[in-house]
């Protein structure tokens, strides 16, 4: 690290669990963020400010005025612009040393297969089960840790799915692809503005811990938040031997 970086990241360097070597690992890391909305905004900003050297941001949508209630990486001047590009501009204003690749397209299986070999961690910040399952399958296939978050109304959840660990489940172990889960859109259900910031911040923290090798990750645990009572609940989750995605792993 150069002198400017030592100053910028000095509060990380002071932490025994990170230090200079941990910060160097962050600077050399590459994170893939799927979704640049409510969850993706705090995720991208915190990973960038923390010094993750490369970020790839994927989102096919454009900024809408209704997004600005909670999607803090965007602003009024960028309404109509691709969200991925908007996030890139916000990161550049905070930490121009971070290399950001903005992809204004859907995260389909072909794109994920092309991106995952070169990244160190994947963060699912999307809002629909189909994409979540595509991302999960790609992470299992390419042996990449997945940090997954979800938020709607006043309820949020977050976990780490890391099938590099023999007992750790994948997303499909907990939410089977053939189960009848109903996607609920923010436009019809609404979402409490700070909720996405809370869940997205936890996702960013888990990704940074994975990249540095600090602490205990959320693998095998699902955190659920009821923001109305501000109560966190945790349940243990295990790999399912019959899982169609990761059942043959490990």
**Which of 131, 184, 130 is CA-nearest to residue 156?**
184
122: in domain: yes
CA 117 remoteness from chain centre: 17
243: in domain: no
- Quote the percentage of the chain above a pLDDT of 90: 91
Lowest mean pLDDT among 33-37, 38-42, 180-184, 193-197: 180-184
177: in domain: yes
Catalytic (active-site) positions: 186
37: in domain: yes
Residues 6+ positions from 6 with CB-CB distance below 8 Å: 13
245: in domain: no
Could you give the number of structural domains in the chain? 1
Q: Are strands 121-124 and 146-152 parallel, antiparallel or unpaired?
A: parallel
160: in domain: yes
Give the three-class secondary structure for 91. helix
The domain of 136 spans: 3-236
250: in domain: no
Per-residue pLDDT, averaged over 163-182, amounts to 87
Query: For 107-160, how does the pLDDT look when each residue is reduced to its tens digit (9 = 90+)?
Result: 999 999 999 999 999 999 998 999 999 999 999 999 999 999 999 999 999 999
Per-residue pLDDT, averaged over 67-73, amounts to 97
Q: What is the CATH number of the domain that holds 60?
A: 3.40.50.720
249: in domain: no
């Amino acid at each position: 690290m150069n002198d400017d970086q030592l100053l910028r990241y000095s509060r990380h360097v002071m932490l025994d669990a990170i230090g200079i070597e941990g910060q160097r690992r962050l600077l050399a890391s590459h994170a893939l963020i799927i979704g640049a909305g409510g969850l993706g905004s705090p995720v991208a900003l915190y990973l960038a400010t923390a010094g993750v050297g490369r970020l790839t941001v994927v989102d096919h949508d454009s900024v809408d005025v209704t997004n600005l209630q909670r999607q803090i990486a965007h602003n009024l001047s960028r309404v109509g612009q691709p969200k991925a590009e908007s996030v890139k501009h916000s990161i550049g204003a905070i930490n121009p040393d971070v290399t950001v690749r903005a992809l204004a397209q859907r995260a389909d299986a072909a794109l994920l297969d092309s991106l995952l070999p070169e990244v160190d961690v994947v963060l699912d910040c999307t809002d629909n089960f189909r994409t979540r399952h595509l991302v999960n399958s790609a992470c299992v296939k390419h042996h990449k840790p997945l940090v997954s978050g979800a938020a709607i109304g006043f309820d949020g959840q977050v976990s780490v799915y890391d099938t590099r660990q023999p007992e750790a489940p994948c997303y499909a172990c907990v939410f089977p692809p053939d189960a009848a889960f109903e996607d609920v859109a923010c436009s019809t259900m609404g979402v409490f503005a700070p909720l996405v910031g809370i869940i997205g911040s936890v996702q960013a923290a888990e990704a940074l811990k994975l990249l540095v090798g600090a602490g205990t990750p959320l693998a095998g645990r699902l955190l659920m938040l009821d923001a109305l009572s501000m109560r966190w609940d945790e349940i243990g989750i295990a790999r399912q031997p019959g899982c169609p995605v990761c059942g043959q792993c490990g």
